[in-house]
Amino acid sequence: MSRSRRTGKYNVIWEFRVETTSVAPETPPAPRTFSGWELGATGETVFEHTRAGLRDPHFGMRLYRDAAVPGTLHEVSNPDAPGSDARAAAADGKHTFWDVAFGERMPVFTWYNVNPQRSRYARGVQVNLDAGAFMLLDFDSQSSGVIDTDFRLGGSVDVRPWWDGWEHLSLSVGFFHESTHLGDEYVLSAGTIQGQRTAPAVNPALPYRANPSYEALPVTASVDLPLGVPALSGRLYVGASAYFGSALPNGAFPSEWRAGAELRWTTVDGSNANVHAPTGASLPARAVASLRRRSTGLHSGESADGVAKNRASRFRRRRGAFAAEAAYELLGKRRYDHVGAELGAATFAATNSWWPIQHASIMAFYNLDTERSSSNAVGVSLDWIVGRSPFGQLTEYTRVDALALGFSYYW
């Protein structure tokens, strides 16, 4: 619309223009299926870590107080005097233990497919290299002794069906060699360690030393349980292992079995990539915003728009920054008894009973770079462990009944 009037020799024209522009509401990208094969980590999870598995390879540690392992030697005065071994082995109250694990299930090759509507896991086949070291230290024993060390090396194949509705099932089949070693400070006598003036002598509480090292073929089947709320899910799993190549009579199948359950709460990522602390926000507010952004793989100064490495977060709902889980596992290890004279070669007999180990845990997680790994997280936990020791030959010697404070890292 325009209007004009004459003012002297000039025409002055007023023009009023109204333009309307329709703006379509922002719509999410169409669902897109990610699939293919990769060497190394794909950023997708085929078989989830078992959170309550005490000896599944992962990085973590637990600190707890419990009764000393029978025969553990603490420091005594006058270690050269007669009877020093008995005095060092006498009960002296609870000891502080550090249970440490190093290792991981490292993907080597993956063929995967992801349905964006069911995106917690990848469907497909993944081949892993499994490696782990497990160590138990007693800070109240002589020289803060290493009581036991176990080493594991092997591999596994994880499978999750790629048909809609069946991806709640998963299976892991592995093979590994585990070498177990009682620590020197536990095996040797007080006179040897403290006095150092006598020939090496064996801890008198250990009349024999078996070789509990073995090869194993573990199989674990798992079913994930959607609970009708995006942030909640559950899981049940069962597994069994066959041992062979061991000096211990564990050849009858199953040599070991386990059953576990998990209840999981995980925030769902939808807008974390665009989280920014307001201008002038306090330091805690800026720190929280940074943590939420890091859960998408984005760092300070990066935008979610046009960032190639964040493509998956824009097309599928990944895990959010924070999670909590409650987990429980009952582990049974086949029992055996020492028979025959203690002098000479030790002999053992299998039994029809089991050494049980229970582990319950409450964990809080911060999910890290979920663009590169949908299970990448650090967590703290409160653990309850009761039953026989899960370490090598210590299963025969001692039991655990303790609350532990734990810290874990999962790739």
Instruction: Establish if 23 belongs to a structural domain.
Output: no
For residue 276, being part of any structural domain is answered with: no
Q: Mean pLDDT, the chain, as a whole number?
A: 80
The reported pLDDT for the residue numbered 18 is 41
The SS3 of residue 220 is strand
Domain annotation covers residue 206: yes
191 in a structural domain: yes
Coil, strand or helix: which one is 352?
strand
Who contacts 270 (Cβ-Cβ below 8 Å, separation ≥6)? 317, 320
| β-strand pairing of 95-115 with 59-66 | antiparallel
The answer to whether the Cα torsion of 337, 340, 344, 350 is positive or negative is negative
- pLDDT greater than 90 at residue 411: no
Q: Which residue type, as a one-letter code, is found at position 27?
A: T
3-state secondary structure of 293: helix
CA–CA dist 382, 326 (Å, integer): 10
Domain count for the chain: 1
pLDDT at position 22: 42
The pLDDT of residue 170 is above 80: yes
Tell whether the model's pLDDT for residue 347 goes beyond 70. Answer: yes
Enter the DSSP assignment of 270.
S
Question: Which residue has tokens 């109240």?
Answer: 140
Predicted local confidence at residue 306, as pLDDT: 47
Name the β-bridge partners of 109.
Answer: 39, 127
Specify burial of residue 125 (Cβ count, 10 A radius: 0-12, 13-18, 19+): middle
The pLDDT tens digits for 194-213 are 666 666 677 777 766 667 88
Which range, 26-30, 132-136, 289-293, 306-310, has the best average confidence (pLDDT)? 132-136
Does 323 fall in a domain? yes
DSSP 69: P
Selection from 243, 269, 268 nearest residue 256 by Cα: 243
What is the identity of the amino acid at 237? Y
On the question of pLDDT at 391 being above 70, the answer is: yes
Number of H helices, E strands in the chain: 6, 15
Kindly calculate the radius of gyration of the chain based on its CA atoms and give it in whole angstroms.
30
Q: What is the mean pLDDT of residues 228-253?
A: 89
Is it the case that residue 301 has pLDDT exceeding 60?
no
pTM over 0.85: no
Retrieve residue 114's tokens: 């992801």
Judge whether residue 384 has pLDDT over 90.
yes
Report the C-alpha gap between 375 and 201 in whole angstroms.
48
Residue 20 lies in a domain: no
What is the maximum alpha-carbon separation in the chain?
A: 130
Give the pLDDT mean for 268-295.
Answer: 71
Residue 65 sits in a domain whose CATH number is: 2.40.160.40
pLDDT at residue 200, rounded to an integer: 63
Using the predicted structure, report yes or no on whether residue 122 has a pLDDT greater than 90. no
Q: What is the DSSP letter of 25?
A: P
The answer as to whether 18 is a domain residue is no
Q: Which residue has the higher pLDDT, 309 or 153?
A: 153
Domain of residue 378 covers 31-269+317-410
Higher pLDDT residue, 401 or 367?
A: 401
pLDDT at 226: 87
Task: Please indicate, yes or no, if residue 55 is contained in any of the structural domains.
Answer: yes
Q: Is the pLDDT of residue 392 over 50?
A: yes
Which of 75-84, 96-105, 402-411 is least confident?
Answer: 75-84
Among 22-36, 270-284, 306-320, 360-374, name the most confident range. Answer: 360-374
Lowest mean pLDDT among 21-35, 204-218, 318-332: 21-35
Between CA 342 and CA 340 the distance in angstroms is 6
pLDDT category at 79 given cuts 50, 70, 90 is confident
Confidence of residue 307 (pLDDT cuts 50, 70, 90): very low
Q: Considering only residues 48 and 274, tell me which one the structure prediction assigns the higher pLDDT.
A: 48
Residues 122/160, Cβ–Cβ less than 8 Å: yes
* Sign of torsion over alpha carbons 118, 124, 129, 130: positive
pLDDT band at residue 183, thresholds of 50, 70 and 90? confident
pLDDT exceeds cutoff 60 at 367: yes
Count CB-CB contacts under 10 A for residue 236.
Answer: 13
Enumerate the β-bridge partners of residue 259.
Answer: 238, 330
Least confidently predicted of 5-19, 113-127, 239-253, 358-372:
5-19
CA 91 to chain centre: 34
Highest mean pLDDT among 181-190, 305-314, 381-390: 381-390
Paired tokens of 103: 């290792």
Percentage of the chain exceeding pLDDT 70: 74
